[in-house]
Structure 1
């Protein structure tokens, strides 16, 4: 059975178990943004304003976002007081203040695509006629981003982006890697599960994506390179689905890598022992098993070592 087929079974069996148990694999009704987003344009942040001239409600960001989402309450929204508060940022911003130390590029399309406008560090200004109320993603340009089929990751360095095939949309998006992981985890683990289970899941999701960012040779029928599918053929990626609990798990483990023999582990996972009993023991993790071990008091590192043989966790 191929790895892609295994990953597909992971999500399929997880869905079956959840339906039978009456549980719903949905994100709690909370904003997708991290807790640091408070509707105040602080030093180091890039901020959208609902109105021109830096007026109205504010939506503040500390990093790149490839898709803001379009449905409340899971979208990135305007948080500050004033006109526009609570509305989704996507296609609703009129001006910006870049209080970061990097140039920030605002794009017309999701996935850092289409027409764009650059705002230098410290700059304030209105979005131009093309981008006003037509903003779909933004990117901090600390260096020249990878293009084409390339990735800048290694076995010791996280990739900055990952190429995601948006199957239903028929296109490939280059997604900020952290944004990708944060918008996969709540679709593969249940956000209300114990924190240590979510951290174990965050490590598996990150490692699986990291591995394929380094090794994939996939191409669409049109010849476009991509690393992972956005569905059960790889891991389920849904822009705007991140939750506070899953974001915290990703943040807590972001500086840790999981390797075997010095190489990033292609971390397989599945819902239960019964669902994936034919897999080789030591090469995959049970999602529900991680929940049970966390409830018993085990740390995420203990959980990972319980399921994956001969791994090294390095901070």
Structure 2
């Protein structure tokens, strides 16, 4: 009995020393080792009284959507299609990188495994809602990623912000203001300059096809 007890304790200690931690075993996803997704899983939630996806609604099903299609069907619901093209390009990059990051970090709720849902819990998604202006903006940035200098894929967060204002406070929080992107676009800034203003220590990089 004592011998078995001792061996059991020794085995536990040995496992504790030799087993790698979960954190150290995690892979850092970069544009060098990770291809742009071809499909993203979207949890479709029940509708609210206004006929829109309810962030607190129950999940009805999970829809597999081509990744490019998803981005095109989010952008006009997060950015105003009539805004300046540079603003739409900055928005397209934020939408894409947010989706790419969450594709790499799926979650499971109520037995459903998915990457994002169709509400503002993640990004507002409406199937086949793409517009010519926003589709063109996405096409112009599709072959690029906005990542950390080492190529790490991270989400680009954004918030509405305030109209006719640069929204400096979001820059300090590493978030892009949607209204701020339009403000800077009206001032003649390119989409890369807009991204550089809001996201510090990031770089534009061409991705693998």
TM-score (norm 1): 0.48
Is it true that 1:257 corresponds to 2:149 in the alignment? no
Is it true that 1:167 corresponds to 2:63 in the alignment? no
Alignment match, 2:126: 238
Alignment match, 1:155: 30
Alignment match, 1:224: 112
**Paired residues of 1:283 and 1:308 also in contact (CA < 8 A):** yes
How many residue pairs match? The answer is 160
**Paired residues of 1:283 and 1:309 also in contact (CA < 8 A):** yes
Alignment match, 1:211: 101
Structure with bigger strand share is: 1
Q: CA deviation at 1:155?
A: 3.0
Alignment match, 2:184: 293
| Per-residue Cα deviation, 1:22-55 (whole angstroms, up to 9, x for no partner) | xxxxxxxxxxxxxxxxxxxxxxxxxxxxxxxxxx
* From 265, 284, 309, the counterpart of 2:175: 284
**For the residues of structure 2 that align with 1:189 and 1:279, how far apart are their CA atoms?**
17
Which protein has the larger Cα radius of gyration, Structure 1 or Structure 2? 2
Structure with bigger helix share is: 2
**For the residues of structure 2 that align with 1:225 and 1:282, how far apart are their CA atoms?**
30
Q: CA deviation at 1:262?
A: 2.0
Higher relative contact order (CA 8 A, sep 6+): 2
Q: CA deviation at 1:278?
A: 7.1
Q: Secondary structure at the match of 1:236?
A: coil
Is it true that 1:201 corresponds to 2:91 in the alignment? yes
TM-score (norm 2): 0.72
Q: CA RMSD in A?
A: 2.1
**Paired residues of 2:170 and 2:198 also in contact (CA < 8 A):** no
**Unmatched 5+ residue regions in structure 2?**
1-28, 47-58
The runs of 4+ residues in structure 1 deviating greater than 3 Å are 276-280
**For the residues of structure 2 that align with 1:189 and 1:278, how far apart are their CA atoms?**
20
Q: Secondary structure at the match of 1:183?
A: helix
Q: Secondary structure at the match of 2:172?
A: coil
**Unmatched 5+ residue regions in structure 1?**
1-153
**For the residues of structure 2 that align with 1:245 and 1:278, how far apart are their CA atoms?**
28
